[in-house]
Amino acid sequence: MQDKWIVGVDLGGTTTKLAFINMDGDIIHKWEIKTDNSDEGKNITINIAKSIDQKLEEVEMTKHKLVGIGMGAPGPVNYDTGVILNAVNLGWRDSFPLRDLLETETSLPVYIDNDANCAALGEMWKGAGNGAKDLVCVTLGTGIGGGVIINGEIVKGVNGAGGEIGHITAIPIGGSQCNCGKKGCIETIASATGIVRQANEELLKEGACGELKEILHQSGAITAKDVMDCVSNRDPLAEKVMENVSFYLGFVLAGIANTLNPEKIVLGVVFQEPGKYC
């Protein structure tokens, strides 16, 4: 058992990242494939199964080397059925039976969870959590994901919606429209989308100038990474946006800290460049 490998799969809307991991959690091989969202997602699990077989062949191993698959899915997961809910937003058919399809295609046992929960477990095991058993992990990307670990276990919540930190209201009166239907969620402020929106609002104001304005002139649009880069260069407009982001993110995280008194809060930022997790 000790010399076996686990397959780790991070299923994203655009890219699927895969890895063979040993029982100590060290990455032995890692690679990625494009996520094929066509035909209501029916090729997703077929492609993952094929890719695992190809990689095994490439590294001259057989399937006996593998004990199973652990997968992070981009949405809330029903733990009993292994179904990913709200998958229709990704172009897949709704209530997508991800676990069963992948088990059929690969003949391996599959465990799935929400990707932010997987990030929290990963940070606890091998990352910035560094052994902490009471840990909150927040991932800032296009949206904001969250995973809460208490006594070493993910807080799933009564409906599997534990850790939905992105939809904590940060601005109770007013606030911008969120994809969830509410207004003023922290996701509307501290996600890549929120940062770009606020920067664009500032850039539209009379007298707006500086490095970020230059980038807008040159490329016609700005990204959250542009805003972060401009902060490094002390661009006042970018600094104003990121001060607002930091203020409200701190406000929300402080509330979580008061509720749970966690040992660590781990922030993961994935803006713009896929694969760069800083």
Q: Which is nearer to a second copy, 174 or 275 (CB)?
A: 174
Interaction of residue 252 with a second copy, rule CB under 8 A: yes
Of positions 12, 74, 262, 268, contacts a second copy by CB under 8 A: 262
Residues 109-168 that bind a second copy (CB under 8 A): 132, 134, 146, 148, 150-151, 153, 155-165, 167-168
Strand ranges inside the chain, DSSP E: 5-11, 15-22, 27-34, 66-73, 77-78, 83-84, 110-114, 135-140, 144-150, 153-154, 264-269
Rounded Cα gap, residues 240 and 36, in angstroms:
39
Question: Rule CB under 8 A: which of 179-208 touch a second copy?
Answer: none
Which residues in 165-191 are b (16+ Cβ under 10 Å) and which e? bbbbebeeeebbebeeeeebbbbbbbb
CB of residue 86 vs a second copy: minimum separation in angstroms? 15
Coil vs helix vs strand at 236: helix
Strand order in the sheet with 110-114: 27-34, 15-22, 5-11, 66-73, 110-114
**Pick 85 or 203: Cβ nearer a second copy:** 85
- Using CB under 8 A as the binding rule, the residues of this chain from 15 to 74 that contact a second copy are none
263 binds a second copy (CB under 8 A): yes
Q: Which CB, 125 or 247, lies closer to a second copy?
A: 247
Shortest Cβ 215–a second copy spacing (Å)? 31
Paired tokens of 163: 């850790």
Q: At which residue do the structure tokens 């006996």 appear?
A: 64
What Rg do the C-alpha atoms of the chain give, in angstroms?
20
How many residues at the interface with a second copy, by CB under 8 A? 35
Q: Which is nearer to a second copy, 172 or 220 (CB)?
A: 172
Question: Does residue 251 interact with a second copy by CB under 8 A?
Answer: yes
Specify the length of the chain in residues: 278
By CB under 8 A, tell whether 255 contacts a second copy: yes
Query: Which residue in the set 2, 80, 172, 221 belongs to the binding site for a second copy (CB under 8 A)?
Result: 172
* 161: helix, strand or coil: coil
Kindly state whether residue 260 participates in binding a second copy, applying the rule CB under 8 A. Answer: yes
Query: What is the contact surface with a second copy in residues (CB under 8 A)?
Result: 132, 134, 146, 148, 150-151, 153, 155-165, 167-169, 172, 247-248, 251-252, 254-256, 258-263
